[in-house]
């Protein structure tokens, strides 16, 4: 059982027993709870902390946990209706309303109920994370001289140099800023490149987190269709001309959600078209370290092929390591780098030094390359198992492309299928999937779901989750 499930189960058990204790009464000791429920001390500590956060118990260092005194009356409710007027006032100036909708992102962040197969996840299952290597890296980092001091605002020089080598081409350490993960880097890039109300070209479909950033900043996402070779250059050129946009955001490698790879010819076309239009290309290279073991040689980054500063490159260690290793990079050349640097400083000052030191220790250790090799094999096995299970159990669903990187399949539902109903039925049957609608910034051509195979324990759970989906649709 995963730790989070054990914590929830223990917290629920303790809640059910709270009536046994009078207000102020002491709960059993941590040792007694460990022995009674056969869980770890960490699980007990986290369950008690959850009850304390809910106001049900009070903890006293050295004394234990006690049932909280009952609350005396509910606080008087205020009138917050005035906020609707204030938050929508930007529309009066003719700008795009800054509506913040995180639902498409929360689907991949929220943990499903206990026992539900997690096909909606956006991160690696704990068994796929290099937990020992991360723990060792963090321990070594904490002992480094000055590890808890203030870091350079641009990031540790050694870490910037590592990222520059990974990006390739003529990108150097001076062109790199260390960021708090890929989402933070995307946010900084969009704020630097487009003002509120401006159009921003995006692949269709595309990553909901990027759409949320653009809309929250008052920008207007404009879709550019893709096919098996990535974004279509003819439609990109037409969209730039028609919209006047000066920013195009893309994922050339194992695109989320389709898994497509931008073809060599199209890569050069995209750079040429953007340069002619005076537009920037934001390259979200999130999946380079999620390559499968049966993939061929990877193409270079767009940034490595760009001599003119067209590309603003985004990458991160988070997806291939741990959700909590929020360390990434922005790379750019020319005057735009100064704007990116200024916005990052204003937004977050700097990435905490211990986290940067730990990332540097991790990628510099032999354990990192071993982890990536192991991950490549595991992801390939899970992808193959999922594709086979969908073809066997749900042949009416269409998988347009089976990727050789990333950790999900993009599945088209039969024409006329109610996407929301399919997702809800799957959850009732015990399999959580990500709906396709949030991946489109305009009307979708059909119903889709995204099935992630990285958030489950292994190929057996992949097969079980697809079997539950089959049961959900009544086959």
Distances (CA, A) of 78 to 81, 85, 113, 164, 426: 9, 16, 33, 52, 39
The pLDDT tens digits for 437-451 are 999 988 888 899 999
The pLDDT tens digits for 57-85 are 898 888 888 998 877 665 566 665 655 65
How far apart are the two ends of the chain, measured CA to CA in Å? Answer: 30
* Mean pLDDT across 199-213: 93
The answer, yes or no, to whether residue 377 has pLDDT greater than 50, is yes
Class of domain 103-128+369-472: alpha beta
Domain boundaries, the chain: 3-67, 103-128+369-472, 131-365
Q: What is the predicted pLDDT for the residue at 54?
A: 84
> DSSP letter string over 67-135?
EPPPP-SPPPP---THHHHHHTGGGGGTPPP-----HHHHHHHSPPPTT-EE-S-SS--GGGS-HHHHH
The pLDDT tens digits for 299-343 are 999 999 998 889 999 999 999 999 999 999 999 998 899 999 999
Q: Above pLDDT 90, what percent of the chain?
A: 66
Give the architecture (CATH level 2) of 131-365: 3-Layer(aba) Sandwich (3.40)
* Mean pLDDT across 213-231: 91
Q: What is the predicted pLDDT for the residue at 76?
A: 62
> DSSP letter string over 153-189?
TT--HHHHHHHHHHH-TT--GGGEEEESSHHHHHHHH
How much helix, strand and coil, in percent to the nearest 5, is found in the chain? Answer: 45, 15, 40
Domain 3-67 has CATH 1.10.10.10: yes
Q: What is the predicted pLDDT for the residue at 1?
A: 39
The pLDDT tens digits for 234-270 are 999 999 999 999 999 999 999 999 999 999 999 999 9
Q: What is the predicted pLDDT for the residue at 259?
A: 94
Q: What is the predicted pLDDT for the residue at 353?
A: 93
Q: What is the predicted pLDDT for the residue at 144?
A: 85
The pLDDT tens digits for 99-140 are 667 776 776 777 777 888 999 988 999 999 999 999 999 999
């Amino acid at each position: 059982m995963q730790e989070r499930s054990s914590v929830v189960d223990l917290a629920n058990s303790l809640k059910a027993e709270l009536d046994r204790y009078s207000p102020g009464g002491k709960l059993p000791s941590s040792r007694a709870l460990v022995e009674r429920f056969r869980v770890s001390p960490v699980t007990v500590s986290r369950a008690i902390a959850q009850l304390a956060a809910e106001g049900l118990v009070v903890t006293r260092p050295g004394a234990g946990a006690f049932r909280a005194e009952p609350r005396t009356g509910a606080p008087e409710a205020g009138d917050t209706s005035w906020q609707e007027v204030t938050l929508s006032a930007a529309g009066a100036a003719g700008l795009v309303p800054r509506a913040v909708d995180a639902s498409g992102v929360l689907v991949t962040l929220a943990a499903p109920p206990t026992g539900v197969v997690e096909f909606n996840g956006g991160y690696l299952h704990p068994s796929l994370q290099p937990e020992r290597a991360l723990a060792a890296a963090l321990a070594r980092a904490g002992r480094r001289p000055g590890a808890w001091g203030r870091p350079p605002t641009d990031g540790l020089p050694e870490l910037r140099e590592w990222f520059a080598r990974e990006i390739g081409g003529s990108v150097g350490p001076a062109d790199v800023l260390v960021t708090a993960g890929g989402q933070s880097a995307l946010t900084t890039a969009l704020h630097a490149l487009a003002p509120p109300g401006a159009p921003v070209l995006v692949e269709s479909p595309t990553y909901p987190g990027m759409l949320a950033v653009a809309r929250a900043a008052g920008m207007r996402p404009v879709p550019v269709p893709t096919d098996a070779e990535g974004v279509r250059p003819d439609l990109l050129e037409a969209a730039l001309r028609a919209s006047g946009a000066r920013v195009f955001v893309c994922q050339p490698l194992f695109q989320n959600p389709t898994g497509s790879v931008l073809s060599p010819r199209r890569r050069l076309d995209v750079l040429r078209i953007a340069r002619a239009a005076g537009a920037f290309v934001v390259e979200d290279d999130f999946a380079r370290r999620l390559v499968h073991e049966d993939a061929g040689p990877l193409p270079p980054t767009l940034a490595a092929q760009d001599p003119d500063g067209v590309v603003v490159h985004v990458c991160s260690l988070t997806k291939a390591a741990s959700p909590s290793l929020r360390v990434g990079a922005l790379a750019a050349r020319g005057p735009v780098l100064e704007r990116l640097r200024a916005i990052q400083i204003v937004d977050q000052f700097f990435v905490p030094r211990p986290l940067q030191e730990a990332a540097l220790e991790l990628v510099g250790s032999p354990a990192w390359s071993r982890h990536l090799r192991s991950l490549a094999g595991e992801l390939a096995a899970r992808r193959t198992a999922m594709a086979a299970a969908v073809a066997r159990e749900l042949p009416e669903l269409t998988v347009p492309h089976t990727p050789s990187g990333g950790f999900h399949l993009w599945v088209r539902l039969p024409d006329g299928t109610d996407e929301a109903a399919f997702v809800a039925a799957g959850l009732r049957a015990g399999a959580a999937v990500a709906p396709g609608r949030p991946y489109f910034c305009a009307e979708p051509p059909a119903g889709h779901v995204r099935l992630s195979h990285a958030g489950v324990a292994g190929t057996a759970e992949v097969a079980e989750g697809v079997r539950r989906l089959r049961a959900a649709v009544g086959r």
